Structure 1
Amino acid sequence: MTSEKRSIAVRFFGGAGNYTTVLEECCTHILTSDPTEAALVEWVKSNTKATSTDGIRDRLRFLEALELLEIEPERVRLTETGITWVSQTDPNVLFEQLDATVYGFETALEALQNGPKTDAELGDSIANTHAEVNWNDPSGPAQHRGWLQSLGYVERSDGLNSLTDSGRALARRRTSDSPNFQRQTYYTQADLEKAFDTSFGSYIKGINPRTDDHGELSYIIVKAREDGPYSDELDGERFTYIGEGVPSKGDQTLTGANKALLEQAEGASVPVYFFYQPADRSDLRYEGLVSVADVRYVSADERDRRVYEFTMERLDLEHPTEFETLAASVTAGEREETDSDANDGTNAGSEPEPALTAAEDEYTEVQRRVRSSAFAKRVKSAYDFRCAICDRSRESPAGTVDIEAAHIYPKQENGRDFIRNGLALCRLHHWAFDTGWLAVSDAYRILVADRPELEGYEEFSRLEGAQITVPPAEDEQPHATFLAAHRELHGFESV
């Protein structure tokens, strides 16, 4: 990286908000053509509106300062960082290079955390924070904003600049005091207490929920011991973890620790740190972040003791704030889907038809897990944790609520994790809906399969014509497109 930071960023081609699109094309050309400097200048002239050779070279030298490329008269080539960026197009890669090369990028993010700002106000914030560099170029703020806008971290409307969801997540991550552990590294209890700024008492328990100053759950630490009172199967990307409660005390109960993990299964909301303690060591090995994919209350041993059995999945995330970034992408993605659906009507005033399925390659595996958790949480919350069909909210003896988030057009058919493709149902009616005993008309009335010869028909037939309960907000109510697709899938007439 350059030894001396710059006070001003150099704009790129394509206009503010479009720098990275042109930059990606330029880097791809360098990677595939191995051009000379003169040939690259001519390529820029042919593919952008740029005409000044000196202006083009100035911009290329800025990319060199960002360590994206190396320029020699007879060859221009991408650096390892440049190759990483063009292959992943991860905005954070480019932001890190900009922030390390030019004063003020992190300052601009921090300023926008406090609300929308004009370019001039951003300039004032940078000038006040970096007074030592005499930052007073009137064009500077627009160039900083142009890069942030192109990276998708800032959006601009009526002269005001605001953070996008991904911008807010980045700002939180940059200012986060969350611990940054290295996987497969051992930490003592003192190390962890210092990193988390907390005390664990005489020892670290198996499940440790931690709250913030307002009493809200902030994170959970999960520890598995090699010589523990029960055996956790920890191999692979997906494994089973047994809840809190030793065998000598009988059935496990819904303690605060077990409840914290159970709620993560219903909708992932905080980072869950996973540690492993070998039998011959007192310190703990960090295994990374995990999500709680499922929970069951099952018989565990010869004494018919019942335990909470949590299914854990390892997350390919290096820092806990990346969880917030994914959550932001879920929110932004669902809003974009909703906006897109709202514009799908072919005529003014026509009822829009949302896409029935999700694009299979649209999300990474980790994003799918977070989206699935967000879907379940939103659906159950929209229905006030009550079954849309029977309007009940049963609890098991262990205290778990018997309400599930059902996809109307099924997940196995690639049905979308979209709230209008969801119903909150008790376990019985979820099974009946998924197997085709029950369907729902466009008017939200229950339809029952005409199979009087089968066991169960008499019970379900009593529901025929009853109105299901739907959320009051129209944008959370089941959409006719999904209801019709479910009816067709199970052989019901279109109604």
Structure 2
Amino acid sequence: MRFFGGAGNYTAVLEQLCKFVLTETPTEAAVLEWCQSNTRATSENGIRRRLTFLDGIDLLDIEAGQVRLTQRGMAWLSETDPAVFYDLLSSNVRGFETILEALLDGPKTDAELGDAIATAHPEVDWTDATGPAQHRGWLQSLGYVERSDGVNSLTDSGRKLARQQTSTYPGLERGESYTQTDLEDAFGTSFGSYIKGINPRTTDEGELSYIIIKAREDGPYSDELDGERFTYIGEGVPEKGDQQATGANKALLEQTERSTVPVYFFYQPADSDELRYEGLVDVIAAEYVSQDGRMVYQFTMERLEIDPAQFEALSESVAADIEDDEPDLTADEDEFTEVQRRVRSSAFPKTVTAAYDARCAICGNSRESPDGTIDIEAAHIYPKHENGRDTVRNGLALCRLHHWAFDTGWLAVSDDYRILVADRPDLEGYEEFAPLENEPLTLPADEEQRPHAKFFAAHRDRHGFESP
């Protein structure tokens, strides 16, 4: 149900009406008169339908001919927060979430949005052909959707909201305390009789999905938790001697190399069974050190001022960061915050190695160590120490030997993805690399994830190769 005014102007008019209701506590007849005097609406029946809609979403309370703002209505009016009003809409009317999710796939017309709603909610049965446009009008007025030449797309805030909706991550509030039952419901899992200190959780396919860590005020490890950066002692109680590379400790060790999954941090006060959510943390370093006569894993962690949906979006942006014909070689200093850059940098190795199916782009091999570790590394074509961008198109998956050879200038790549070898027959190593000359590079199946020629040209220039 649209309101009085054009699309994009719904909430501005609604705000004026709510202020009138709050200050005057009017009768329904007085509200009808106000609407006729202050908006383009003239039909009493049309106005009554709109007021009934506002009553139905719990913004207004219309009873015995009197109109009042509800508590939720006053909450919205106090700050006119789009999120508050969107919650009123999406909680009571089908289709709003569907529109945002549909627009995540790209711009769409009102008719295409209507088709998406009809598919997701066949029970709605749109009899009013303007129904999808009215939904879009509300989202447009809240700043979540923008419209140009009859086509709708998400704004930055709309994209963030849509990602939050589609995220499988729990909606936890930093600083709030939760019982174990609350957390089991939020994460959709069981922790057994109690939540351990380090809890790696995997998908049905066995892939790591997220990690939960808990620090207890009266715990045995004397974790130093003050400040944005703190230390956390790994799994293994003192009476069992040296800590071992258990699955839990290994999961955190892997996160020091690259942040592939969210790490949720909780704190349990000594006098409470509840756990206080402290937000996400980044595991930035690990040491195996002597403490109180035994060896322990000491992790250095740093708090992240982002939520899980933002973590997911930043990680995905490394693969989705597809540039035009002239991408920038270096990262824009103002494009991301330090935390956002760190998450993207951590996601880079995983994204690049996955794009190449964990095989070396030069030799095509995928070696494994006896413990199952794959010997494939993610190389920046234009180097990271020169502020080279964390985008899959500036990356190559390489075995350790060819990573070294590429970084030192033994090897380069032509614009047509042919391997070039430095013309230094006088140096030891040339005979090993010479057979690779003019061999084709192994490329990702997804053409959009293949390296951009501009990065290869810059690499050739750095190492003195002539452009072919």
What TM-score bracket applies, with the shorter chain setting the length? 0.5 to 0.7
Q: Aligned-residue CA RMSD in angstroms?
A: 5.3
The percentage of counterpart residues that share the same residue type is 56
2:411–2:422 Cα contact (<8 Å) kept = yes
Q: Provide the residue aligned with 1:458 in structure 2.
A: 428
Q: Provide the residue aligned with 1:438 in structure 2.
A: 410
How far apart, CA to CA, are the structure 1 residues paired with 2:185 and 2:173?
15
Letter of the aligned partner of 1:381 in structure 2? A
1:313 aligns with 2:302: yes
> Which of 360, 363, 384 lines up with 2:336 in the alignment?
363
> Which of 185, 191, 194 lines up with 1:200 in the alignment?
191
- The Cα of 1:128 is off from its aligned counterpart by 8.9
- The Cα of 1:221 is off from its aligned counterpart by 0.9
Change in 2 beyond 3 A, CA 1:11/1:323: farther
1:448–1:461 Cα contact (<8 Å) kept = no
Q: Matches of residues 170-319 of structure 1 in structure 2 within 5 Å?
A: 170-171=161-162, 173-174=164-165, 179-211=170-202, 217-225=208-216, 230=221, 232=223, 234-245=225-236, 248=240, 250=242, 252-253=244-245, 255-261=246-252, 264=255, 268=259, 270-277=261-268, 283-292=274-283, 294=284, 299-301=288-290, 310-318=299-307
> Which of 143, 154, 160 lines up with 2:134 in the alignment?
143
Change in 2 beyond 3 A, CA 1:200/1:394: same
Unaligned runs of 5+ in 1: 1-6, 14-18, 25-52, 57-61, 68-78, 86-92, 345-352
Deviations 1:312-365 (A, max 9, x none): 4322135x344445456x27xx54x53x51xx3xxxxxxxx4332232212344
1:107–1:125 Cα contact (<8 Å) kept = no
How far apart, CA to CA, are the structure 2 residues paired with 1:388 and 1:128?
48
Change in 2 beyond 3 A, CA 1:450/1:9: farther
Change in 2 beyond 3 A, CA 1:362/1:223: same
Q: Provide the residue aligned with 1:31 in structure 2.
A: none
- Secondary structure of the corresponding residue to residue 458 of structure 1: coil
How far apart, CA to CA, are the structure 1 residues paired with 2:167 and 2:142?
21
Letter of the aligned partner of 2:432 in structure 1? R
Letter of the aligned partner of 2:2 in structure 1? I
Q: Matches of residues 59-138 of structure 1 in structure 2 within 5 Å?
A: 94=82, 96-100=84-88, 107-110=95-98, 118=112, 138=129
1:240–1:310 Cα contact (<8 Å) kept = yes
Q: Provide the residue aligned with 2:25 in structure 1.
A: none
Deviations 1:371-414 (A, max 9, x none): 32332222111233244456555556765444332211122322
- The Cα of 1:179 is off from its aligned counterpart by 4.3
Letter of the aligned partner of 1:206 in structure 2? G
Deviations 1:39-67 (A, max 9, x none): xxxxxxxxxxxxxx9659xxxxx9xx9x9
1:266–1:376 Cα contact (<8 Å) kept = no
- Secondary structure of the corresponding residue to residue 428 of structure 2: helix
Q: TM-score, normalised by structure 2?
A: 0.64
How far apart, CA to CA, are the structure 2 residues paired with 1:430 and 1:126?
48
Unaligned runs of 5+ in 2: 13-37, 42-49, 60-73
1:419 aligns with 2:392: yes
- Secondary structure of the corresponding residue to residue 142 of structure 1: helix
1:290–1:315 Cα contact (<8 Å) kept = yes
- The Cα of 1:111 is off from its aligned counterpart by 6.7
Q: Number of matched residues?
A: 404
Q: Provide the residue aligned with 1:374 in structure 2.
A: 347
Q: TM-score, normalised by structure 1?
A: 0.61
How far apart, CA to CA, are the structure 2 residues paired with 1:309 and 1:402?
26
- Secondary structure of the corresponding residue to residue 141 of structure 1: helix
- Secondary structure of the corresponding residue to residue 334 of structure 2: coil
Deviations 1:86-112 (A, max 9, x none): xxxxxxx53543553798666332377
Deviations 1:177-208 (A, max 9, x none): 85444434444445534544543233322221
